[in-house]
């Protein structure tokens, strides 16, 4: 069976204190740390790049789940591999022509390859990436338009999760955007096992409690 993974989105953390924020999340029970990489082109926001991952890596052993909202993911594989990223999830919308090369390169740098899709992208578009010799190992279903934290969860995206779970019983399926105690049951019952949560965790008086609620919902 697939393992629950709770991944606080560090986009909602205090970037000026990233190392201590990461440590705090791990202490609160986080399994992964979700790192949102935005290039100001694929999405209308700009965040962090490989140098920040490299700095953070010196302070934590945690699994760094990197979500690349960038137009040219292939250019980032080598720097992210060197920086110590654990997972490298790219967007299908910008990788239709070179995903095979991309997946191979990600694996050769020792990272776990994942593919993400925006709300307007049909789930069928990731099927080819899950077949053949070199498949991706995770699908990240966006449940908001990528670019910003704190948006409203789109429940209609759960159809994509259900279709994927039925077709791929042991696949890691991640959901990202608007997840928290009030939306987690919809995602968990659809079959998501990796849960990204930014504002609901960082905005809570007791983040450990929120993380445990998310975990329990996925586990059941
Ligand atoms: C949005 C990012 C998300 C975001 C989630 O583009 O991919 O990871 O930080 O934040 P919340 O949980 O606040 O919706
Ligand atoms: Zn993300």
ipTM of the complex: 0.99
DSSP code of residue 49 = -
Give the domain ranges of the chain.
Answer: 5-219
User: Which of 65, 159, 176, 206 is the catalytic position?
Assistant: 176
Give yes or no for residue 179 CB within 6 A of ligand 1.
yes
Count the neighbouring beta carbons within 10 Å of the beta carbon of residue 66.
Answer: 24
Rounded Cα–Cα distance for residues 178 and 194 (Å)? 14
User: Residue 176 catalytic?
Assistant: yes
Does residue 36 have an active-site annotation?
yes
- The length of the chain, given as a count of residues: 220
What per-residue confidence (pLDDT) applies to 215? Answer: 98
Annotated binding site: 9, 34, 36, 67, 147-150, 176, 178, 198-199
pLDDT digits (tens, 9 = 90+) for 157-215: 999 999 999 999 999 999 999 999 999 999 999 999 999 999 999 999 999 999 999 99
The string of pLDDT tens digits covering residues 9-30 is: 999 999 999 999 999 999 999 9
Residue 47 in this model has a pLDDT that exceeds 80: yes
Q: CATH second-level architecture of 5-219?
A: Alpha-Beta Barrel (3.20)
pTM of the model: 0.98
């Amino acid at each position: 069976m697939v393992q629950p993974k709770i991944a606080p989105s560090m986009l909602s953390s205090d970037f000026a204190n990233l190392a201590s924020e990461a440590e705090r999340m791990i202490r609160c029970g986080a399994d992964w740390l979700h790192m949102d990489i935005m290039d100001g082109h694929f999405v209308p926001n700009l965040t962090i790049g490989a140098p920040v991952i490299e700095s953070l890596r010196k302070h934590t052993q945690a699994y760094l789940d990197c979500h690349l909202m960038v137009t040219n993911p292939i250019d980032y594989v080598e720097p992210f591999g060197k920086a110590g990223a654990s997972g490298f999830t790219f967007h299908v919308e910008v990788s239709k022509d070179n995903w095979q090369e991309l997946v191979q390169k990600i694996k050769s740098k020792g990272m776990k390859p994942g593919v993400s899709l925006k709300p307007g992208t049909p789930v069928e578009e990731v099927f080819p990436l899950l077949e053949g010799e070199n498949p991706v190992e995770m699908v990240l279903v966006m449940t908001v338009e990528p670019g910003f934290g704190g948006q409203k969860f789109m429940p209609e995206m759960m159809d994509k999760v259900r279709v994927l779970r039925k077709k791929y019983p042991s696949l890691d399926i991640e959901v990202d955007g608007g997840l928290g105690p009030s939306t987690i049951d919809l995602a968990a019952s659809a079959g998501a096992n990796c849960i990204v949560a930014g504002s609901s965790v960082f905005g809570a008086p007791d983040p450990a409690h929120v993380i445990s609620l998310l975990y329990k919902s996925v586990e059941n």
